[in-house]
Amino acid sequence: MKRKKLLQYLHSQNCEQLREGKRHSWWYNPILNKRTAIPRHTEINEILAKKICKDLGVLPEQKGK
């Protein structure tokens, strides 16, 4: 999955970027008060994308949508 697509999906789920670290971006879900780090790779593994969504408390993006 492309990083840009994942970030767009998280933004549509009311998540927002907290800050930029050296190697990761920190994202935050204000509704559930959860946060996680997202690496700055152009491609993000599907397993990691699911973990990021789980850490933020949102459903993983469905393929084909």
Q: Which range marks the domain in which residue 50 is found?
A: 3-56
Is the distance from CB of 25 to CB of 40 less than 8 angstroms? yes
Kindly state whether residue 12 falls inside one of the protein's structural domains: yes
Kindly state whether residue 62 falls inside one of the protein's structural domains: no
pTM to 2 decimals?
0.89
Per-residue pLDDT tens for 7-61? Answer: 999 999 999 999 998 999 999 999 999 999 999 999 999 999 999 999 999 999 8
Distance (Å, whole) CA 17 – CA 36: 10
How many structural domains does the chain have? 1
Distance (Å, whole) CA 34 – CA 61: 18
